[in-house]
């Protein structure tokens, strides 16, 4: 028996496992659940490893997706930032255009009200000196601007042209101590001279102590100096003092036009003078004293030149 088993051990073992397999198949066919004791063991052992590998794969996939998404989001963010900057620039430019349009409209309306011709000019510089207050304009002699012409703004008087060049001019402001304008107190028609006092604005001079001048009174140009049109706003009285002894009162006036904020002004031409272009400067060949015949002097003919006399004799 043992000899038979040893000889046929392969066949017997194969048949045994085949019978076990057929038994398991028949048992699984009759029952709804699967009878697999080794499967439960392997499932229990492999579940932690499966969860670990699934977690690592999910993290790797998530990191990759986030990286790709971050790269795309960063590029989109840069595009949006550039768009925002462009829109802000356009908005700022549009606001500046609207403000300039309003200022130029007011300047145009003022020019229509003036009894004289006027030319518009832009402020290009301001004098930073404490002792001399002035503005520099971008219009000069080629535009017909001359020394002594009045400079005005929609708010009121600004000053006088104190110096010119071919393409620029300087304005002596109302607040400069060297300035002086003949003015009237609008309410009482009291006349005086308005002069500058640098950082303290302007002061009304040569007004009698008995004259009626109060805080808040408007000061306008009298037109008697032949420079500024009559009735043009100059300023408003901010303080009146009669404490000091003397014939005149002391009244401080705040200018109507704030020169520190002006960007465009009008330069008026006295007596309705038309815009005139200055004559062109002579060239280097034409520069020199005129000849005698040009100014009406005649005399003996000039002796011929050396070469001319010899050639004539020949």
122-151 pLDDT, tens digit per residue, is 999 887 565 667 899 999 999 989 999 999
Domain C-terminal end among 82, 113, 144:
113
Residue 264 lies in a domain: yes
* H or E element at residue 101: helix 37-113
The residues, any chain, with a CB within 8 Å of residue 242's CB and separated by 6 or more, are 209, 249, 250
Structure tokens at 282: 């002579």
Are 137 and 248 within one domain? yes
How much is the mean pLDDT over the chain? 76
Q: Contact at 8 Å (CB) between 200 and 238? A: no
Same domain, 240 and 176: yes
Whether the CA torsion 6, 10, 15, 17 is positive or negative: it is positive
Query: Which range has the worst mean pLDDT, 35-49, 94-108, 237-251, 266-280?
Result: 266-280
Output the pLDDT for position 171.
Answer: 92
Average pLDDT over residues 278-307: 43
**pLDDT value at residue 82:** 87
Residue 296 lies in a domain: no
Q: What is the mean pLDDT of residues 86-112?
A: 83
Q: What is the pLDDT of residue 79?
A: 86
Q: How far apart are CA 217 and CA 211, in angstroms?
A: 13
> What's the pTM value of the predicted model, to 2 decimals?
0.58
What is the pLDDT, as a whole number, of residue 283?
Answer: 40
248 and 204 share one domain: yes
Q: What dihedral do alpha carbons 101, 107, 111, 117 form, nearest 10°?
A: -100
Using the 3D structure, point to which of 56, 86, 113 is the last residue of a domain: 113
Question: Nearest 5°: phi and psi at 225?
Answer: -80, -5
> What range does the domain containing 73 cover?
41-113
With a cut of 60, say whether residue 287 has pLDDT above it: no
- Tell me if 289 is assigned to some domain: no
Same domain, 78 and 129: no
Mean pLDDT score, 36-41: 60
Contacts of 131 (CB under 8 A, 6+ apart): 198
User: Would residue 200 count as lying in a domain?
Assistant: yes
Whether 27 shows a pLDDT value over 80: the answer reads: no
User: 205-238 burial, b for 16+ CB within 10 Å, e for fewer?
Assistant: eebeeebebeeebbbbbbbeeebbbeebbbbbbe
The count of structural domains within the chain is: 2
Phi, psi of 305 (to 5 degrees): -70, 165
Q: Are 37 and 27 in contact (CB under 8 A)?
A: no
pLDDT in tens, 178-225: 888 999 999 999 999 999 886 667 999 999 888 999 999 999 998 888
Tell me the pLDDT band of 310, cut-offs 50, 70 and 90.
very low
> Is the pLDDT reported for residue 291 higher than 50?
no
Q: Indicate whether 123 and 262 sit together in one domain.
A: yes
Same domain, 255 and 122: yes
Say yes or no: 122 and 79 in one domain: no
How confident is residue 25, by pLDDT bands cut at 50, 70 and 90?
A: low
Query: What is the pLDDT, as a whole number, of residue 164?
Result: 92
Q: Which of 304 and 222 is assigned the larger pLDDT?
A: 222
CA pair distance 176, 116, nearest whole angstrom:
25
State the Cα–Cα distance between residues 105 and 303, nearest whole angstrom. 69
User: What six digits make up the tokens of 22?
Assistant: 């057929």
Task: Verify that 151 and 63 share a domain, yes or no.
Answer: no
């Amino acid at each position: 028996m043992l000899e038979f088993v040893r000889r046929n051990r392969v066949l017997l073992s194969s048949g045994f496992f085949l019978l076990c397999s057929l038994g398991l198949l028949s048992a699984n066919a009759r029952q709804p659940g699967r009878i697999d004791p080794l499967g439960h063991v392997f499932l229990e052992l492999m579940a932690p490893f499966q969860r670990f590998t699934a977690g690592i794969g999910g993290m790797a996939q998530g990191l990759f997706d986030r990286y790709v998404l971050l790269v795309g989001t960063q590029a989109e963010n840069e595009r949006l930032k550039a768009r925002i900057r462009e829109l802000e620039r356009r908005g700022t430019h549009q606001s500046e255009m609207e403000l300039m349009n309003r200022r130029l409209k007011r300047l145009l309306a003022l020019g229509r009200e003036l009894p004289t011709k006027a030319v518009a000019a832009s402020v290009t510089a301001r004098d930073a000196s404490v002792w001399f207050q002035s503005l520099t304009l971008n219009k000069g002699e080629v535009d017909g601007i001359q020394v002594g012409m009045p400079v005005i703004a929609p708010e009121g008087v600004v000053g006088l042209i104190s110096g010119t060049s071919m393409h620029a001019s300087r304005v002596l402001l109302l607040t400069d101590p060297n300035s002086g304008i003949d003015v009237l107190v609008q309410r009482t028609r009291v006349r005086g001279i308005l002069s500058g006092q640098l950082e303290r604005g302007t002061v009304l001079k040569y007004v009698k102590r008995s004259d009626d001048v109060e805080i808040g009174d408007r000061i306008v140009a009298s037109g008697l100096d032949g420079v500024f049109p009559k009735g043009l706003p100059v300023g408003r009285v901010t303080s009146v003092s009669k404490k000091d002894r003397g014939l005149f009162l002391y009244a401080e006036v705040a200018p109507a036009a704030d020169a520190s904020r002006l960007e465009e002004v009008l330069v008026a031409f006295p007596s309705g003078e038309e815009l005139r272009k200055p004559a062109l400067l002579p060239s280097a060949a034409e520069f020199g004293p005129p000849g005698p015949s040009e100014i009406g002097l005649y005399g003996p003919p000039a002796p011929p030149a050396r070469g001319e006399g010899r050639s004539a004799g020949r």
